[in-house]
Amino acid sequence: MGPNWQLQTLRSFDGVTFVSPPIEALRIFDLLDRGYDPNSAIAFMQQNGYPSTAAWYPSVAAIGLPFQYMAYINGAWELVTRVGA
């Protein structure tokens, strides 16, 4: 894991308080760590009873989540807080 994976409470750009990292991001990271590619990890979650709103954006190597995104930078998944829609 790269930077920003410490447990914390944050406020989103539109004022919603949320816990970071979200459980969805932790589940996706676990599947990535087990060898899944991002699309397969998201599909696995959706097919096995773990609802996911995540979306994979291969052109920028990022997985979008409601208030944050996971970006693959220099060989590590960094958790980045979104600052706007």
Task: Say if 2 falls within a structural domain.
Answer: no
For the chain, give the mean pLDDT.
93
Domain residue limits at 76: 8-81
For residue range 14-53, what is the model confidence (pLDDT) as tens digits? 899 999 999 999 999 999 999 999 999 999 999 999 989 9
When divided into structural domains, the chain yields a total of: 1
Instruction: List Cα–Cα distances, 56 to 7, 9, 10, 19, in angstroms.
Output: 23, 25, 23, 21
Task: Say if 1 falls within a structural domain.
Answer: no
The pTM of the full predicted model, rounded to 2 decimals, is 0.88
Q: Is the torsion defined by CA of 82, 35, 53, 5 positive or negative?
A: negative
- CB atoms closer than 10 angstroms to residue 79: 22
Task: Say if 64 falls within a structural domain.
Answer: yes
What φ, ψ does residue 22 adopt, rounded to 5°? -70, 150
Task: Say if 3 falls within a structural domain.
Answer: no
Task: Say if 55 falls within a structural domain.
Answer: yes
